[in-house]
Structure formats: structure tokens, C-alpha cells
Structure 1
Amino acid sequence: MRITHGDLDRFVEQVRPYTEYGQIVEYIPALAKVDPSQVSIALHMLEGECVTAGDTEETFTIQSISKVLSLAYILMERGEAEVFHRVGMEPTGDPFNSIAKLETNRPNKPLNPMINAGALAVTALMPGDGLEERWERFRKFLSALTDKDTLTFNDEVQQSELETADLNRSLAYFLRQHQVIQGDVEELLQLYTRQCSIEMNCQELARIGAVFARDGICPTSGESILPPYIVRICKTFMVTCGMYNASGEFAIKVGIPAKTGVSGGILGIVPGVCGIGVYSPALDEKGNSLAGWKLMELISRTYDFSMF
């Protein structure tokens, strides 16, 4: 399959008008400063080529896309039994930051790792002695996925998220009250906001997707980074829960395992073909990138990427 820069350029310009109808996220002040008209995409093919278009040099914080990466990391470090003792495997149908199901379900554990409560429970399992060691071990895992040793988080965005984290703080205390997590809640929030504030561009995000698309093997070096069973678990969660409470619609219209973030990023995986990184910060009412969704839909339809 041959996908050219010219193809992607046309697709980007075709969806760019949708940026006028979306909204920049406002509850995290540092994210409200970005230019809403930006659109970019990268496809990292498994043969090693990365095809790009749009504002590809722009960096962005990955936000909830990090939930897939922390899940993969913790599954490697702790194993399935420990992880799924604390989080479930089912979609919620509720907004990503809802507390409602935590109160009504028995046991009171989050329904899946892609909602905020579930992601907090997963991040709480990160190994290490103290915040800095826990962060550095996770950062090294991400560096292996991106082949970028200088990968780090955006301090301004992290501080902005920490200062507006009252709902996540409430979720964390609820989880600790019900023995889903242990330890210091403030350290957990520091770690969680750091992972959400990890900064990348589309090419780096697409390279992560390519590792998943090749069942955990680095597309350039051939090194095994993730076991295939962990890739399978992550891809399944991306299909069922990755696009917030629009995941079913996305599965029907696009059919690509994907994870979104409120910064406007989307990580996509086309098994056996490529990883996809998309960025466009203007969001729809459910928190998904409006132009990014349309771009993924166009790519999937043009190249028959749907897994269904």
C-alpha cells in the first residue's frame, strides 16, 4: 500500500473547516491557549517510513492517550491479575470523569482503565520509591516506544491540571476509601498529571501506534517492546472505550482501535499496517477532536482500514 504526502495533504485540507465548529478545552487553563485551526497527521508504516501532513511540528500533551500507555506498562510490571483486581473490563456509557458508576457498582472499582477513575487506579500501581523514581521508570518505557530519550512532560500544563484536579482528587479519595488504591493521593495526582502532560508530536505518537500495530515489536529495530497479549488487551480497550462515550459510533464509522485525549490528539492502530498520530485541538461535545475524527474516518474509508 502506497500512501503519499500529497494524499494526506489533501485529506488535511478537506477536514480543516471542521475546526471552526469545535471548542478548545477550557477547564484546563493551559490548554485553552492553543490555536484551534491546527490539523496534523502522521502515518508510521511498519516498513519504517513515516508519512506526514499538516502542522506536524506542533507538539501537544497526550492527556488521556496516556491511559493506554500506562495500562501497557503496568500490565508488564504487575500482571493481569493485579490490574483487573482493581479495574474492570466493561464500557461505561458515561462521561470519562463520571463518579456515578463507582457509587452504584459492587465492588466499587472502576469499570475500565480508560475512564479517569480507572486510569488513576492503574497509575497508582506504578512501581518505584517515591514520585521521581516512579516517573523516571515510566518515562524510560515511553522512550523505548518513541525512540526518543528526551521525552518529558510540559510543566505548565501539568501545573494547570494539578491546580484544577478537584474532581480527580475526589475520585482518588473515593478509590482509597474503598481499598481500590493505597498510598498518598497527592503523589498519585502528581504522577497522573505528569503522564497526561507528556508532550509529543504526531510522528512520535504514530511511532507508538506502529509498535502496537506490529504486536509490540519496534518497526525499525525489530526489538520486542511489548508482549503480544498486552497489545491485544490494549487494542480491545481502545475499540470499546477509547473514544469516551462515543466509542461505539467510532467503531462503526471508522473501525480503527483508537484513543483520544482532550488536547485534541488521537492515537490510532491499523494492525499489520501502520500507527496513526492525529492532532487537532478543537473538540466536539464529548471531548473528541472534531477534525481529527473526520480525518480518521476519511483515512479509514479511503484505504479500507476498518478492522470490521
Structure 2
Amino acid sequence: MSELELEFEQLQQNLPGWVRASQPCSAHGRVAAYIPELSKAPGEALGIHLIDAQGRTLTAGDSSLSFTMQSISKVFTLILALIDNGEKKVFSKVGMEPTGDNFNSMLKLELVRPGIPFNPLINAGAIAVSSIIGGDSPDEKSSRVLQFFRKLAHNDSLDYDYEVYRSESDTANLNRSMGYLLKDNGVLEGDVDDVLDVYFKHCSINATCADLSRMALVLAFNGTDPITGENLIPRRYVQIAKTFMTTCGMYNASGEFAIQVGLPAKSGVSGGILSMVPGRYGIGVIGPALNAKGNSIAGVQLLETMSQQMDWSLF
């Protein structure tokens, strides 16, 4: 039996127990409530879906729970913007550095010149990126985003959760403030409300752990879906995305996550986490109860356990 076969067998045997051991951590977190619709999620839930290059899957816990992608979507809108515009244009709008601030902070937009967001995975950066996705209208841009996500997830039924979309839009005063400041700084292209509509929609795309794991699998294999053999993303853009995931993907807990888990990952305030073992697995996790940094408290614990038990850290 090969090393990968032995590893898969070990995962199969241990994954349910690791989920059961991590699930009680949920009691120490809180479901996001600043977007009212998100507060309806079951705080005690924890689930995981893992897929390998042969299409074999492992699931445990509440893996069938659906949730909106929220900030996880920023990884893939960045990639689409890179495909549409190239690196030079994209990085004239956003930087490449962690902020050390909360994901929704706008402090450094005013304090640090030239007034561009520090990276594309904070809200301000993702709003700037959303403004340069190709399309003649907000609807066309959003349609292109959704079709791109469907292709990566190998799931044509991916769609928006319109209740979450409306809830995000109705409570988005801070994001609107960022949009207008970015517009005033000459960063944002187009009408602020049109750009924000694209942003709210891609954050509100509904998914499951299976969808996240299939999207992660493409990143784990440098832009090629190993199951179909189709190249979906240029390798260079995957490299950029995975680097941002490692340095900025878990908000201002990214350094701690890199030390404790050591895998590229991106979280969202719905409790989802997309992660991967490069060259081996795509991973999707859901655990709606969040820690103080906005990451799934039980999901982080589960990934930490798995990485340490399987010796997965890239470092």
C-alpha cells in the first residue's frame, strides 16, 4: 500500500473522532450577528468534507450544512480579477501585505499612503477588486463571478442566498463608507453602489463543505482540476492566491494559524473555512460559532488537530 493510501486510510479511521473532539469548542464561540441573517445558523454545528485527486471523499459531522461563502469568495474574485486584468492593474488597486487590523477596518486607508487597501482579502481590498472584474454592468459582473465559482466547484446549482444578500446590503454602512473613501482616493472604478452590489452578491453565494473542498482541490493542484484534468486557473495566479491565504486568509489570526496549522486557508464569518494540503487534498469546513478574530472556533481546532496528527504543516 502506498504512502498516500495509508494516509487516506488513517484519515478515514480518525476523522469522525477528531470532529467529535473539536465540536465542544463551539460552546466558546458566537455566531456572527452583525449581519442579522447569519445569526440564524446553528452555533453547535461542525462538519468537514475532504476530497483527493482521484475524487475520493471523506466527510464527518454536519458537512451537508449550507452556508454563504462570505470572505472565502474573496480568494476567487481576486483570481478572476487577475485573469481579467493582470497583476499590474490589480496591484495598483490593492497591496500585498497583512494589516494586523480587523477585516472591516478602514483605519489605514486614511493613515497610510497611497490610500489603497493593504491586501485583497480584507473588506476594503475585496471591494476594490470587485470594481475591476470584467463586465458592462453589475449584473454581468456578478453573473461572471457565479459562473466561475460554479466551474471551480463543479456544481452548476451554486446560487445566491438572497436573504443574506439583502441582510448584508441593509446593514452595510461601514462597507459603504469604505467604498466612498476608496472612490475619493481614486482607487474604486465605477459607481460605489454598483461595486458594492457585486461584492455583496459574491459574499452571499451559498455553498457546502463539498463545494469548498472541490474549489480548494483546484488550488491544491496549481489551477488544474485533477479529477477532470482541465486547467481552470493560471498557475501564477494560484501562487498569488495561496500566498495571500497563508499571510492574510485567517484575518488578524493568520500568523497564529500558520504556526499551529501551517496550511493555506481562508475563512468567512458564516463559519466556513476553505483549506488544502497542496498536491493532495481540498478541504471544506463549517462551524458557525466564531472566535474573537472572526474564525470558526471549532473549525480552527479541527484543522489544527488534523495538521498536527498528519504532519501536514508546510513549515
The normalised TM-score by structure 2 is 0.96
Kindly provide the CA deviation profile for residues 245-270 of structure 1, in whole angstroms up to 9, marking residues without a partner as x: 01000000000000000000000021
Superposed CA offset, 1:95-148 (max 9, x none): 011111111111010010011100000011111121211111111111110111
Counterpart for residue 277 of structure 1: 284
Count residues in correspondence: 308
Alignment of 1:147-186 (within 5 A): 147-186=154-193
Q: What is the aligned partner in structure 1 of residue 204 from structure 2?
A: 197
1:188 Cα deviation from its structure 2 partner:
1.2
Question: Is 1:78 aligned with 2:69?
Answer: no
Aligned to 1:114: 121
Match of 2:242, as an amino acid? K
The alignment partner of 1:259 has SS state of strand
What are the ranges of 5 or more consecutive residues in structure 1 without an aligned counterpart? none
Partner of residue 126, structure 1: 133
SS at match of 1:37: coil
Secondary structure at the counterpart of residue 44 of structure 2: coil
Structure-to-structure mapping, 1:228-307, within 5 angstroms: 228-307=235-314
For 2:154 and 2:77, how far apart are their aligned partners in 1? Answer: 17
Gaps of 5+ in 2: 1-6
Separation in structure 1 between the aligned mates of residue 106 and residue 81 of structure 2, nearest angstrom: 23
What is the match of residue 76 of structure 2? 69
2:8 equivalent to 1:2: yes
Please state how far the C-alpha of 1:219 moved relative to its aligned partner: 2.1
What is the distance in 2 between the residues matched to 1:102 and 1:266? 27
1:7 CA displacement: 1.8
Equivalent residue in structure 1 for 2:218, among 192, 208, 211: 211
Letter of the 1:244 counterpart: Y
Distance in 2, matches of 1:81 and 1:137, equals 21
Runs of 4+ in structure 1 deviating by more than 3 angstroms, as ranges, are: 3-6
Instruction: Give the equivalent residue in structure 2 for 1:146.
Output: 153
> Which of 234, 250, 261 is the aligned partner of 1:227?
234
Q: Within 1, Cα distance between the matches of 2:53 and 2:263?
A: 16
2:296 and 2:62 map into 1 onto residues whose CA distance is: 15
1:136 maps to which residue?
A: 143
Secondary structure in structure 2 of the residue aligned to 1:2: helix
Q: TM-score, normalised by structure 1?
A: 0.98
Q: What CA distance in whole angstroms lies between the structure 1 residues aligned with 2:51 and 2:184? A: 43
**Does the aligned pair in 2 maintain the 1:60–1:265 contact within 8 Å?**
yes
Shift of 1:5: 3.9
Correspondence for 2:48: 41
AA of the residue aligned to 2:181: F
Give the secondary-structure state (helix, strand or coil) at the position aligned to 1:183.
coil
Specify the SS of the correspondent of 1:52.
strand
Distance 2:168 2:71 in 1: 12
Preserved CA contact (<8 Å) 1:266 1:277: yes
